[in-house]
Amino acid sequence: MGGYLGKLLRIDLSKDDIREEKLPEESTLRQFIGGTGLGARILYNEVGPKTQPTDAENPLIFMTGPLTGTTVPCSSNSTVVTVNAEVDKMIGTSHSHGFWGAQLKFAGYDGVIIKGKAKRPVYLSINDGKVEIRDAKKIWGKDTHETEDLVKQDLRNPNASVGAIGPAGENQVFGAFIEVDYNHSWAKGGCGKVMGSKNLKAIAVYGTGTIPIADPATYLAVSRKWRAKLFDSPSIGNSMARAGILFGYKYIESQNILANRNFSTSSFPEYAQNIDRIKDEFKVEPTSCWACPISCSYRARVTSGPKKGFLATLSGGGENTEAAAANVGITDPGWIVYMTDLYDRLGMDSGSMGLSLGLAFELYEKGIITKDDTDGLELTWGNAEAAEALLRKAVKREGFGAVLAEGPKKAAEKIGRGAEKYAVHVKGGGLNYHDWRAAWSVMLGQIVAGAGGRWEGYGVDVWAVEPDLGLTKFHNAHQVEGKADAVRMTQFKKLWEDSIGICWIGAWGCPGALGWAAECIGAATGWKDFSAQEALAVGERVVNLQRIFNLRQGFEPRRDFEDLGKRLIEAPPDGVAKGKPLGPHLEKMIKEYYHLMGWDEKTGKPLAKTLKKAGLEGLK
Amino acid sequence: MNQVLVVDPLKCSGCRTCESACSLIHFGESGTSKSVIRVIAFRHDVFFYPHVCHQCKKPYCAEACPVEAIVKNPENGVVELDKGKCIGCKLCLEACPFGAMAMMEDGLAAKCDLCGGDPECVKFCDYGAIRAGNADDISQPKRMAEAQGIFAAIGNQPRKLFDTHKISTYGLEE
């Protein structure tokens, strides 16, 4: 069977034990494919209801898909799946790009399961069949980019791909992630915290093998068609191409989705204008992942201002810069890229820890906290030096930083004095950081997402429509009708894409991509009758699997309704969403979503017939 | 017309799709080790060079081959390798000044055959960094670029064609 290598690597860091094992049987693969889906299915068996994220028995599962490392556009995906270390009692899933996933497959493995805790700091080297647990004493404490360089030097292999945690992961702070290939990261699910708890500093992969494909002629023909359509349609790939986000801020500001200053406003023209200055004035070079025709990530060399000369290596979404800079009011273009890069180097998601900082700044501005609380830092909007100092304190859990190191929700509880009102979070964790008060589908999608606030269901309010799902027209951002269904359908598509080995930017809004992805799965594996319908059924199965996993871990469905920053469902004081709070409609929308999902509207649990239809009846 | 692969490293993103396409079309497997096009990456400097066979007029690989397994096709200029004749001696690898020859796991040599005139790597390069063309396709854009630089510098000056020729008056003024 093509597409897969048929092998998993299992590592127990407590016992220095490395062994290979077979992938699950073909029927299971066809049900869950790979990536998020197969990773979640494996995790379900690996842990029990009581497993905590930083327990030795909680695995970090890295999983590719059958399309990873091929000619399919954006086939760079690898997913990490683990018990969520950022959001209580949920699964944690996150995907990343660059070259790591492709290299892992060339090294001969579809995935890696890492359990246990090393007695001292180690890093892992996977080089074709040779797997080593190596000493990381000298690199512990280094930032993610330094770590990548040092590991490559240590292995004398500049072509290895290295995923690494920074000081944030080592200190197990909120939002700690795993950076890879300079520009990319597995950013969600607190995976950096889990990796840090295992004393695992980095994972280097390099391979010289190949991936078998059952029907190469069809595979090549379909992937070419798909690539052509990406640039011959209003797809997201088209608009994100060549560091495209830097060219997109007129749209973002016009839609009032530029998240800034802890959501205290929904407009920030000065920030949007200065993003234009990055593309116009700085030396910007788009960079590419494996098989990517888009190159949304980029390097920016600062050419003027206080950060002149600094080289930032960023990914392409815009959420990272908004959460790192706009959220504390930073507008200097050099500081924008510097702060965003700093989050990457310290090893944490700005869409999580950035919310802690935003909260602190707003509380200071409102006079709820003062210099006495902040160790003397003046947290006024736009004070970039203070933001950097505070971030470094949070990573070290030092002074006031220790208060922020557990995220905005817990920080607000600790601070008290009514701070809870201003904490922005989804179920205690971060979110994909644009202002979704002006795009209710995305907000609903973040709220009902099965792995904590993140891209799962996104609807058709902004950016692009989804013709493959019959969603050919943009929704009014503030209508209630149709939102739950659009969120559900896009969630199926997204989780399917997260399971096959592609970056969803290569398929979002690209007419035909759903069918072509299904065709490529068929051509790769030899499952000739694999259809778009079966593809969406995979997505639906994964949504249900995440749900029953969460319920088994003790997740209480009422948290869908209650456990989120109230800011997110109130109306902003300005912009297109002014006077239009989501709050009053939320219960109805979530219940409609439950209903459409085949979940009990009262208890939020999947009905028996739903699990049966999804082929999950054996799992409880 | 002698066809070659024309590469522009300044357009290459380093995505390596060409390698995957080459490997898939020839071996039905995706990867980089079985590709005869190789992207050489200077990742820190975001500089990438798609390394290809130049289909030399005087192919050292063919000259080094003791069993005449490599022959330059006079019709289309492609330096073709006959796997049936190859004995796996690796002399072609040693002879090629550019490193364009590869060895496969069957122990035999492999090289670019331009996919019979419609190279797969070209079709999969969305950045336009690899094109199929002739020698002039390599040099002409560079000549043009240089000429444009000169034009920008002195193009607005008066032209000097009269300097080298005195207009004839057919002796009428004499």
Q: Which residues of A303-368 form beta strands (DSSP E)?
A: 311-314
Confirm whether B164 is domain-assigned.
no
Asked if the C-beta of B126 comes within 8 angstroms of chain A's C-beta atoms, the answer is: yes
Of A71, A224, A227, the CB nearest to B20: A71
Q: What is the pLDDT of residue B174?
A: 57
Residue of B nearest to A286 (CA): B13
Per residue in A76-101, pLDDT (tens digit) is 999 999 999 999 999 999 999 999 99
Of B13, B17, B29, the CB nearest to A211: B29
- CATH number, domain containing residue B79: 3.30.70.20
* Chain B residues in contact with A219 (beta carbon < 8 A): 24
The tally of domains found in chain B comes to: 2
Confirm whether B6 is domain-assigned.
yes
Asked if the C-beta of B16 comes within 8 angstroms of chain A's C-beta atoms, the answer is: yes
Of B14, B25, B126, the CB nearest to A220: B25
Asked if the C-beta of A219 comes within 8 angstroms of chain B's C-beta atoms, the answer is: yes
Same domain membership, residue B36 and residue B80: no
Q: Do A106 and B31 touch (CB under 8 A)?
A: yes
The mean predicted confidence, pLDDT, of chain A is 97
pLDDT band at A620 (very low <50, low <70, confident <90, very high): low
Same domain membership, residue B106 and residue B29: no
Same domain membership, residue B58 and residue B23: no
Same domain membership, residue B46 and residue B28: yes
- The single-letter DSSP state of residue A464 is -
Residue A472 confidence (pLDDT) above 80? yes
Q: Do A159 and B41 touch (CB under 8 A)?
A: yes
Rg (Cα) of chain B, in Å, rounded?
Answer: 23
* Chain A residues in contact with B34 (beta carbon < 8 A): 210
Shortest distance between the Cα of A176 and any Cα of chain B, in A, equals 25
Residues B69 and B85 sit within 8 Å (Cβ to Cβ)? yes
Per residue in A226-272, pLDDT (tens digit) is 999 999 999 999 999 999 999 999 999 999 999 999 999 999 999 99
State which of B111, B126, B143 marks the end of a domain.
B111
Q: What is the pLDDT of residue B2?
A: 64
Residues A29 and A67 sit within 8 Å (Cβ to Cβ)? no
Shortest distance between the Cα of B128 and any Cα of chain A, in A, equals 11
Mean pLDDT across the stretch B131-147? Answer: 88
Q: Measuring CA to CA, how many Å separate B131 from each of A508, A522, B38, B137?
A: 29, 30, 15, 9
Interface with chain B: mutation pick from A153, A210, A231, highest number of B CBs within 10 Å: A210
Same domain membership, residue B86 and residue B1: no
Residues A593 and A587 sit within 8 Å (Cβ to Cβ)? no
Same domain membership, residue B85 and residue B7: no
Residue of B nearest to A161 (CA): B43
Conformation bin of residue A55: beta by default, left when phi > 0, alpha when psi is -120 to 50: beta
Confirm whether B167 is domain-assigned.
no
Report which residue type is found at A348: M
Q: Do A210 and B14 touch (CB under 8 A)?
A: no
The mean predicted confidence, pLDDT, of chain B is 93
Asked if the C-beta of A69 comes within 8 angstroms of chain B's C-beta atoms, the answer is: yes
Confirm whether B165 is domain-assigned.
no
Q: Do A216 and B25 touch (CB under 8 A)?
A: yes
Residue A284 confidence (pLDDT) above 90? yes
Asked if the C-beta of A61 comes within 8 angstroms of chain B's C-beta atoms, the answer is: no
Torsion angles phi and psi, residue A595, rounded to 5:
-60, -50
Interface with chain B: mutation pick from A4, A71, A153, highest number of B CBs within 10 Å: A71
Mean pLDDT across the stretch B38-59? Answer: 94
Residue A216's closest CA among A526, A527, A531?
A526
A74 Cβ contact partners less than 8 Å away, ≥ 6 residues apart: A97, A237, A289, A291, A292, A293, A294, A502, A503, A505, A506, A507
Q: What is the pLDDT of residue B1?
A: 52
Mean pLDDT across the stretch A561-575? Answer: 97
Single pTM value for the model: 0.95
Of A71, A231, A285, the CB nearest to B17: A71
Residue B28 confidence (pLDDT) above 60? yes
Structure token digits, residue A109: 């493995």
Per residue in A9-37, pLDDT (tens digit) is 999 999 999 999 999 999 999 999 999 99
Per residue in A104-158, pLDDT (tens digit) is 999 999 999 999 999 999 999 999 999 999 999 999 999 999 999 999 999 999 9
Instruction: Give strand pairing partners of A47.
Output: none
pLDDT band at A397 (very low <50, low <70, confident <90, very high): very high
Shortest distance between the Cα of B123 and any Cα of chain A, in A, equals 8
Same domain membership, residue B44 and residue B1: yes
Tell me the domains of chain A and their CATH numbers: 7-206 (3.60.9.10), 263-421 (1.10.569.10), 436-613 (1.10.599.10)
Confirm whether B40 is domain-assigned.
yes
Q: Which residue range is the domain that position B7 belongs to? A: 1-52+118-157
Confirm whether B62 is domain-assigned.
yes
Same domain membership, residue B65 and residue B46: no
Confirm whether B162 is domain-assigned.
no
Shortest distance between the Cα of A503 and any Cα of chain B, in A, equals 14
Same domain membership, residue B127 and residue B102: no
pLDDT band at B23 (very low <50, low <70, confident <90, very high): very high
pLDDT band at B61 (very low <50, low <70, confident <90, very high): very high
* Chain B residues in contact with A223 (beta carbon < 8 A): 124
Same domain membership, residue B87 and residue B63: yes
Confirm whether B123 is domain-assigned.
yes
ipTM above 0.90, yes or no: yes
Size of interface A-B (CB pairs under 8 A): 80
Q: Exposed, middle or buried: residue B55 (CB in 10 Å: 0-12, 13-18, 19+)? A: buried
Same domain membership, residue B107 and residue B60: yes
Residues A440 and A462 sit within 8 Å (Cβ to Cβ)? no
Q: What is the pLDDT of residue A422?
A: 98
Give the least confident one: A165-169, A310-314, B142-146.
B142-146
Same domain membership, residue B153 and residue B78: no
Residues A101 and A68 sit within 8 Å (Cβ to Cβ)? yes
Shortest distance between the Cα of B39 and any Cα of chain A, in A, equals 11
Q: What is the pLDDT of residue B135?
A: 78
Q: What angle do CA A185, A187, A192 make, to 5 degrees?
A: 95
Q: Do A211 and B17 touch (CB under 8 A)?
A: no
pLDDT band at B167 (very low <50, low <70, confident <90, very high): confident
* Chain A residues in contact with B25 (beta carbon < 8 A): 216, 220
Q: Do B124 and A224 touch (CB under 8 A)?
A: yes
Whole-number Å distance between alpha carbons of B53 and B7: 11
Instruction: Give strand pairing partners of A176.
Output: A348
Q: Do B17 and A291 touch (CB under 8 A)?
A: yes
Mean pLDDT across the stretch A502-526? Answer: 98
Of B13, B21, B126, the CB nearest to A220: B21
